[in-house]
Amino acid sequence: MRLALGLCALLATPALAVQPDEVLADPALEARARALSQNLRCLVCRNENIDDSNADLARDLRLLVRERLVAGDTDAEALDFIVERYGEYVLLTPTTGGSNIILWLAGPALLLGGAGLALATLRRRKSAPDAPLTPDEQARLAEILRD
Amino acid sequence: MIVELGHFTLILALAVALVQSTVPLIGAEKRWAGWMAVAGPAATLQFLLIGFSFAALTYAFVTSDFSLRLVVMNSHTLKPLIYKISGVWGNHEGSLLLWVLILALFGASAAWFGGNLPVALRARVLAVQGMIGVAFLLFLLLTSNPFLRLAEPPFDGEDLNPLLQDPGLAFHPPFLYLGYVGLSMAFSFAVAALIEGRVDAAWGRWVRPWTLAAWVFLTIGIALGSWWAYYELGWGGFWFWDPVENASFMPWLIAAALLHSAIVVEKREALKAWTILLAILAFGFSLIGTFIVRSGVLTSVHAFANDPERGVFILLILAVFMGGALTLFALRAGAMEAKGVFSMVSRESALVLNNLLLAVACFVVFIGTIWPLVAEMLWDRKLSVGAPFFNAAFTPFMIGLALVLPIGALMPWKRGQGGRVLPHLRAALVLSLALGALAFAMQTGRSALGPVGLALGAWVVFGAATELWVRSGRGNLAGRLGRITRLPRADWGKATSHAGLGVTIFAVAAINAWALEDIRVVQVGQSFPIGAYEVTLADVRDVQGPNYLSTMAELQVTRDGQAVTTLYPEKRLYPVAGMPTTEAGIAYGFWRDIYLVIGDPQEGGGWAVRSYIKPFANWIWGGALLMAFGGMLSLSDRRYRIAAGARRTPAGVPAE
């Protein structure tokens, strides 16, 4: 199932994801870089974040993120900088802007709607007798259910 | 010759499926016993024919018959025998042949074990099953024929994708397919019931074992795939919210909902229309999953085929079956009046809430999976929906589910009182909160994920234990313990599955919250600490495997000066496929895994080494196995055997 990820290795030189030489000296800054990396898509792999990806482009992006953070960007500024260059596509967490609000609200809305519907049905429900079974059917049903 | 016979029997199977899908249906309508009786033998014959065809293809793979296009593209003489066999389904055409084989197997099983079904219902179920068979056999023969010959056979094959040459992945597709395709039975029962216009308690009982079996297989299949990703992809990730993963997860969620709502149909004759709808949707999501994986429409770069012709064909199958079934549903669902009434506080209501949460969770996964496609088509926006979205949007529903599960499971049918149920759970609540608080006090960081996950998982596990305890009745300890062991297997199955869910919830939170990671350059002979352990890179050497070259590191792990283990992570190159893979060195443990990966040689000497301590990693799949085992326990309960009703013994305790 995760062949997509494995395939990515084809596009890249065999390497590990985050390389030792990329790691920043400041652990706080490095932790922020790792967190940001997990939200950025490796553009040539398509299903991996740059933190996990082996691809060269992912490495470039990882370095870029760290560069921005070292230069004093906030997390949001660093993300904006990369989105400006690579487009919305690079973000693994879609924004809530524009039509995306549908995506974010679909679950909660459906839950509320479903709960409302269930409640209404429960309230309205009265015991309406079914069409009675024929004696034959009843005997058969009793036989099956007895087991 | 054998290959041609296999091709021929596949075409014959299509002819048989055509008969199976029409004659019994007409017979059931006209009450012609002879016509209805065709269904059983036809289903058996269809299974035998496809079985022969599958055997023929397997034979071609095992004997490395390179005059077959499929064998050339996916096999190699040097490959170990087990991967020659798994190579049969490690590709688009072969995996579809497996798909129809399993479909025919389920149809045949319904014919063999469905002796207690009313004749007309059985005929209709098998006819619908036959229709699905026709559609997929046509798909196979017209767009994905596995039996195509080459005019000039090459000397050797192109090898199977090395990532697929792995025991975990060799058996991942068959289980997944048993699950996917097993849901076709629920679908066939639902459509047959709609045609008959009647759903009763007996229907609920017949459809449940099939759904349960499918769900068990799906659980095992998903767990195998996740486990494979964990040890094979080289950084210990186990779930990526990849479209192809979601494709298997959506039917799993709906099947879980269906299992629970079918109980309400069986016990209380309520939620009939909803259950029928779920049965249709469960198979619908299986088809959508097949479509996603086979068509590559969601830009998931996948090793399997992705050309549009096949995608369109599956979309057509999806449209015909879902459109047909849903139309039938719209026409007939109104006739399915609920018999059993229940109050707001009752087991039924709790199961409605369970269904709501599972269905909405499934919908969230669905919309997240297709959103990039929708956004591009409608607004020309190219965007991604990745793991962070799913983690944020999906998890709350699972938390809600885990919170209400122990309460709902103890609730009596029809009318319950919170005041009666909640006191039973006091101990479970106190215990799980205490565990969470303890974890919070002991951990170094301030993250709430670990402690909350622990408390939630413990709540579900203790809740399951509480339920068994409550069911043991009153009286002294010895008497209750004795009765607990004699509870019906269905009760044990329910408790086991629920506990398994709790274990998995805890483990997923724990591994995310408490894993340790270390990335560094290490010289041969050098040591470094990670957590309580000390790791030494003793050696790096080149090794020749049966069909690959390997760079193998030797890493010695010690703790307080005591040797813990020696691990040999590798970097492999499969020359035939020209593909590198990483093989992590993993020391599996009950409390933690030590997970070491060797990287590239560095310019200044030394090697890149990644090390992880993954706490409770095995618990993730252990929990999944518990869920599956619970399902099997329930299946083995006398009252739920697939042949339920075949043995006529007096009833025991009311079923759960």
B171-212 pLDDT, tens digit each: 888 888 889 889 999 999 989 888 887 777 778 888 888 899
Provide mean pLDDT across the span B157-179: 78
The answer, yes or no, to whether residue B101 has pLDDT greater than 90, is yes
**So what's the pLDDT on residue B86?**
83
d(CA B411, CA B349): 9
**So what's the pLDDT on residue B160?**
67
Place of tokens 């496809």: B50
Q: Which amino acid is at A46?
A: R
Cross-strand pairs, B212: none
Instruction: Judge whether B349 is closer than 8 Å to chain A, CB to CB.
Output: yes
* Cβ within 8 Å of A, B 123-142: none
Q: In which band, very low, low, confident or very high, does the pLDDT at B340 lie, cut at 50, 70 and 90? A: low
The answer, yes or no, to whether residue B124 has pLDDT greater than 80, is yes
Determine contact, residues B588/B618, Cβ cutoff 8 Å: yes
Name the residue in chain A with its Cα closest to that of B335: A130
Provide mean pLDDT across the span B143-152: 83
Instruction: Judge whether A91 is closer than 8 Å to chain B, CB to CB.
Output: yes
Span A83-134, pLDDT tens digits: 888 888 888 888 887 788 888 888 899 999 988 888 887 777 654 445 667 7
Here the ipTM equals: 0.77
Report DSSP state, residue B391.
H
Span B415-424, pLDDT tens digits: 777 677 777 7
Determine contact, residues B338/B272, Cβ cutoff 8 Å: yes
Q: Which is more confidently placed, B609 or B639?
A: B609
d(CA B269, CA B431): 37
Tally of CB atoms within 10 A around A116 = 10
**So what's the pLDDT on residue B398?**
92
Span B44-84, pLDDT tens digits: 899 999 999 999 999 988 888 888 888 888 788 777 888 88
Nearest to A130 among B337, B597, B644 (CB): B337
Instruction: Judge whether A134 is closer than 8 Å to chain B, CB to CB.
Output: no
- Work out the mean pLDDT of chain A and round it to a whole number: 75
Please report the beta strands in B504-606, taking only residues with DSSP state E, as ranges in sequence order. Answer: 516-522, 527-530, 533-544, 549-559, 562-567, 570-574, 579-583, 585-587, 592-601
Determine contact, residues B524/B537, Cβ cutoff 8 Å: yes
d(CA B388, CA A41): 11
Q: Which is more confidently placed, B615 or B268?
A: B615
Checking phi first, is residue B533 left (phi over 0); if not, alpha (psi -120 to 50) or beta? beta
d(CA B121, CA A105): 42
Q: Annotate A118-129 with b (16+ C-beta within 10 A) or e (fewer).
A: beeebeeeeeee
Residues of chain A with Cβ-Cβ distance to B378 below 8 Å are: 99
- How do B570-574 and B549-559 pair as beta strands? antiparallel
Q: In which band, very low, low, confident or very high, does the pLDDT at B372 lie, cut at 50, 70 and 90? A: confident
* Least trusted range by pLDDT, from B113-117, B189-193, B332-336, B648-652: B648-652
A72 CA to chain B: closest CA distance, Å? Answer: 24
- What stretch of H or E contains B466? helix B449-471
Residues of chain B with Cβ-Cβ distance to A133 below 8 Å are: 200
Residues of chain A with Cβ-Cβ distance to B176 below 8 Å are: 1
- What stretch of H or E contains A100? helix A100-124
**So what's the pLDDT on residue B470?**
81
The answer, yes or no, to whether residue B388 has pLDDT greater than 50, is yes
Helix axes B172-196, B201-232, angle to 10 degrees: 160
Q: Do B235 and A100 touch (CB under 8 A)?
A: no
The answer, yes or no, to whether residue B303 has pLDDT greater than 80, is no
Instruction: Judge whether A45 is closer than 8 Å to chain B, CB to CB.
Output: yes
Cross-strand pairs, B566: B556
d(CA B97, CA B229): 25
Residues of chain B with Cβ-Cβ distance to A15 below 8 Å are: 599-600, 608
Name the residue in chain B with its Cα closest to that of A8: B301
- Work out the mean pLDDT of chain B and round it to a whole number: 83
Residues of chain B with Cβ-Cβ distance to A16 below 8 Å are: 234-235, 519, 582, 597, 599-600, 608, 610
**So what's the pLDDT on residue B655?**
40
Instruction: Judge whether A24 is closer than 8 Å to chain B, CB to CB.
Output: no
**So what's the pLDDT on residue B654?**
40
Q: In which band, very low, low, confident or very high, does the pLDDT at B436 lie, cut at 50, 70 and 90? A: confident
Tally of CB atoms within 10 A around B484 = 17
Provide mean pLDDT across the span A38-54: 78
Name the residue in chain B with its Cα closest to that of A116: B356
Q: In which band, very low, low, confident or very high, does the pLDDT at B305 lie, cut at 50, 70 and 90? A: very low
Residues of chain A with Cβ-Cβ distance to B205 below 8 Å are: 144-145
Burial of residue B477 (CB within 10 Å: 0-12, 13-18, 19+) is: exposed
Give me the phi and psi of B570, to 5 degrees please.
Answer: -130, 155
* Cβ within 8 Å of A, B 438-477: none
A47 CA to chain B: closest CA distance, Å? Answer: 6
Determine contact, residues B473/B480, Cβ cutoff 8 Å: yes
How many residues are listed for chain A in this entry? 147
Provide mean pLDDT across the span B142-168: 77
Instruction: Judge whether A4 is closer than 8 Å to chain B, CB to CB.
Output: yes
Q: Which amino acid is at B210?
A: W
**So what's the pLDDT on residue B651?**
39
The answer, yes or no, to whether residue B296 has pLDDT greater than 70, is no
Residue B9: partners with Cβ closer than 8 Å, 6 or more residues away? B49, B50, B52, B53, B56
Cross-strand pairs, B608: B521
Span B203-238, pLDDT tens digits: 888 888 889 999 999 999 999 888 888 888 777 788
Place of tokens 């039975």: B185
Nearest to A92 among B361, B384, B610 (CB): B384
Which two tokens mark B235? 């950084």
Sign of CA dihedral B626, B631, B634, B636: negative
Residue A17: partners with Cβ closer than 8 Å, 6 or more residues away? A51, A52, A53, A54, A58, B235, B610
The answer, yes or no, to whether residue A1 has pLDDT greater than 80, is no
Span B481-512, pLDDT tens digits: 878 788 888 888 888 999 999 999 999 988 88
Residues of chain A with Cβ-Cβ distance to B232 below 8 Å are: 6
DSSP string, B344-357: SSSHHHHHHHHHHH
The answer, yes or no, to whether residue B2 has pLDDT greater than 70, is yes
Instruction: Judge whether A120 is closer than 8 Å to chain B, CB to CB.
Output: no
Name the residue in chain B with its Cα closest to that of A52: B235
d(CA B161, CA B72): 12
Residues of chain A with Cβ-Cβ distance to B597 below 8 Å are: 16
Report DSSP state, residue B164.
G
Question: Which CATH fold would you assign to the domain A3-90?
Answer: Helicase, Ruva Protein; domain 3 (1.10.8)
Nearest to A2 among B242, B344, B651 (CB): B242
d(CA B465, CA B499): 8
**So what's the pLDDT on residue B297?**
61
The answer, yes or no, to whether residue B1 has pLDDT greater than 80, is no
**So what's the pLDDT on residue B301?**
38
**So what's the pLDDT on residue B362?**
92
d(CA B453, CA B620): 12
Which two tokens mark B602? 């560095």
Which two tokens mark A12? 């890249």
**So what's the pLDDT on residue A8?**
43
Instruction: Judge whether A113 is closer than 8 Å to chain B, CB to CB.
Output: no
Q: Do A99 and B375 touch (CB under 8 A)?
A: yes
d(CA B533, CA B549): 30
Residues of chain A with Cβ-Cβ distance to B303 below 8 Å are: 3, 6-7
Q: Which is more confidently placed, B507 or B1?
A: B507
A75 CA to chain B: closest CA distance, Å? Answer: 16
Name the residue in chain A with its Cα closest to that of B205: A145
- How do B533-544 and B549-559 pair as beta strands? antiparallel
Name the residue in chain A with its Cα closest to that of B116: A144
Which two tokens mark B471? 């069911």
Provide mean pLDDT across the span A68-94: 83
Helix axes A56-70, A27-37, angle to 10 degrees: 130
Nearest to A7 among B301, B349, B651 (CB): B301
Residues of chain B with Cβ-Cβ distance to A138 below 8 Å are: none
